Chains A and B, each alone.
Chain A
Amino acid sequence: MTDPKDFIAGMGSNARKSPTRVVFVTRRTSAQVKVTDEDQVQTYPEVLFRAIVAIEVLAIALACVSLLFNAPLEGIADPSHTPNPAKAPWYFLGLQEMLHYFPPVVAGVLVPTLVVFALIVIPYFNINVEAEGLFLKDRKRRLLIFYLAAAALSLFMLFFDVYVALVPTLIVAGFMVLAAQSSPQSTSAFRRYLAAKPLSYWIMTWFLFELAVLTAVGTFFRGPGWSWVLPWRS
């Protein structure tokens, strides 16, 4: 420190909003906090009122659904009579669809555990926190890794005949290729949007897509013996 004064001090106050603030910026680091005061509203009554209205609208909607549609109730549980197909609750039908292709230890244990683990660790990786476009930096290497990973995943699914999961994978991979060919300077807004998307975005979108497709297939398009059926021809 050649400068004898190695800190600066400042004071600011806005008596109507906040008490007096004193700041010391030491060692010339310059905090550069760029937070601007935003408009705020009181939680009571404004936010609580909105929350109550939102919940009431939901309650009315659900009450209407309950008046129009009855919850299913079949015959009494009979362990000696297995329905065909026996289906899990709808939110597990994605898993059940995978059980059709993979052994239970993979589809029923390994995959859900990995999904939960992956969800938990998302915020602990700096690459997700910084969230920069996947192919904007270190492009060549990342493109190579992406092609290898996408090809390996697709071949794996092809090998086990999991076309249901292969199609969403290929679609997402297609958009990723388009993102790799795009840049923040692209003329189309959609391509600029794609170029800015980080790795976590692509993985999550792929996961959401697979979840939606597998659950929908398991719920609507699977009949006796887990064969393909059309829901409107039952």
Chain B
Amino acid sequence: MAKTITNYFEQLRGTRVWRSVFRSGTGSSTLRRALAVQQNVFLHLFSTKVRTRMLSFSTTWYLGTLTFGTFLILVATGIPLMFYYHPSVPQAYADTKDLQFVVSSGLFLRNLHRWSAHAMVFLVFAHMFKVFYRGAYRPPREFNWVIGVILLLITLLLSYTGYLLPWDQLAFWAITVGSNIASAVPVMGNKVHFLMLGGNVVNANALLRFYVLHCMILPLVAILFVAVHFWRIRKDGGLYAHQSEPRTVAAAPVPVAAKGAQS
């Protein structure tokens, strides 16, 4: 069974159309498989080979992969949600009600978007702590850790801006509580608060701002940083594996020209 699927897939990869789309060519040789990753604009962010033991569940708990998975689910559910939603007062609330009761599978769509959003925030935190306890922030990966912290903040902002969109009591007062904190910023607190909401209180302007940030600006920024985050994993030598790091050991006397780079 599995063999036939593989055969069919290999056949598919050999067709003229497939070869016009993917530059890697056919064949299951190591070279071709490496090219399938290296010659693809999206996959080339990743390295062509991965250390086998980095694949075991206990190493990473797949937390980074799963976080990316929630992001994909959120994009996939968020776009259809946008079809049914107007960022205006009070239409936003009516649209959310319609999603619950009128739109086919609207309830499921909204549920999936909401729970995936919570899952993403949780997974981002979990991923950060797992990376920390593995010591995977060590040089040369320090800047990727910083990008990770930026992505944590972007995730929180994405979730926070999305929180207002249903325009119900829960949304309104959660954003009111959160945005009041901005007023506490020394000197320019009220300016920041006004800039954030487009007014002195949470109102229709705030809803529009949060909508644009949530559906447009923050996802694009997130995609940009995620791409750099993935690419840096490859550039920094793959996933961090403690035992395989070069260690500085006291230099033993070296026999002349004998031991070379035999690795």
Chain A residues within CB distance 8 Å of chain B: 5, 8-12, 14, 21-23, 25, 28-30, 32-48, 50-51, 54-55, 58-59, 62-63, 65-67, 69-79, 81-83, 86-92, 95-96, 99, 103-105, 108-109, 116, 119-120, 122-124, 128-129, 131, 200-201, 204, 208, 211
Q: Beyond A54-B66, A65-B115, A86-B173: 4 further Cβ-contacts under 8 Å?
A: A8-B257, A41-B50, A73-B96, A78-B172
Q: How far is the CA of A77 from the CA of B138 in the complex (A)?
A: 47
Give min CB distance, B214 to chain A, whole Å: 13
Contacts A25-B254, A43-B49 given; does A71 touch B244 at CB 8 Å: no
Contacts A10-B260, A41-B49, A63-B112 given; does A109 touch B55 at CB 8 Å: no
Q: Does B208 contact A (CB under 8 A)?
A: no
Beta-carbon contact of A21 and B159 below 8 Å: no
30 A-B residue contacts at CB 8 Å? A8-B254, A8-B256, A12-B261, A12-B263, A32-B249, A33-B263, A34-B247, A34-B249, A40-B52, A41-B55, A42-B30, A42-B33, A43-B48, A44-B33, A44-B36, A63-B112, A66-B108, A66-B111, A66-B112, A71-B110, A73-B97, A77-B172, A79-B172, A88-B174, A89-B160, A91-B156, A122-B137, A123-B138, A204-B129, A204-B133
Contacts A40-B50, A41-B52 given; does A12 touch B167 at CB 8 Å: no
Per-position binary interface string of chain B over residues 209-243, scored 1 when its CB falls under 8 Å from any chain A CB and 0 otherwise: 00000000000000000000000000000000100
Contacts A43-B47, A44-B33, A91-B159 given; does A62 touch B112 at CB 8 Å: yes
Per-position binary interface string of chain B over residues 105-146, scored 1 when its CB falls under 8 Å from any chain A CB and 0 otherwise: 001101111111011010001001100110101110110011
Q: Which residues does chain A contribute within 8 Å of B166, judged by CB atoms?
A: 73
Q: How far is the CA of A54 from the CA of B171 in the complex (A)?
A: 32
Q: Which residues does chain B contribute within 8 Å of A74, judged by CB atoms?
A: 168-170
Beta-carbon contact of B180 and A76 below 8 Å: no
Q: Does B183 contact A (CB under 8 A)?
A: yes
Partner of B146, one of A14, A120, A201: A120
Q: How far is the CA of A46 from the CA of B47 in the complex (A)?
A: 12
Partner of A21, one of B65, B139, B261: B261
Contacts A58-B70, A78-B172 given; does A28 touch B177 at CB 8 Å: no
Give min CB distance, A182 to chain B, whole Å: 19
Contacts A34-B249, A43-B50 given; does A83 touch B169 at CB 8 Å: yes
A7 and chain B: residue at smallest CB distance:
B257
Q: Which residues does chain B contribute within 8 Å of A41, judged by CB atoms?
A: 49-50, 52, 55
Number of A-B residue pairs with CB-CB distance less than 8 Å in the complex they form = 242
Within 8 A of A (CB), among B51-89: 51-53, 55, 62, 65-66, 68-70, 72-73, 89
Within 8 A of A (CB), among B243-263: 244-249, 251-252, 254, 256-263
Q: Which residues does chain A contribute within 8 Å of B66, judged by CB atoms?
A: 54-55, 58
Q: How far is the CA of A8 from the CA of B166 in the complex (A)?
A: 70
Q: Which residues does chain A contribute within 8 Å of B108, judged by CB atoms?
A: 63, 66-67
Beta-carbon contact of A109 and B181 below 8 Å: yes
Q: Which residues does chain A contribute within 8 Å of B107, judged by CB atoms?
A: 70
Sorting the interface of chain B by its residue count into under 10, 10 to 19, 20 to 34 or 35 or more gives 35 or more
Contacts A8-B256, A23-B261, A41-B52 given; does A58 touch B184 at CB 8 Å: no
Beta-carbon contact of A77 and B171 below 8 Å: yes
Beta-carbon contact of B53 and A39 below 8 Å: yes
Q: Does B27 contact A (CB under 8 A)?
A: no
B262 and chain A: residue at smallest CB distance:
A12
Beta-carbon contact of A72 and B170 below 8 Å: yes
Give min CB distance, B69 to chain A, whole Å: 3
Beta-carbon contact of A73 and B100 below 8 Å: yes
B128 and chain A: residue at smallest CB distance:
A119
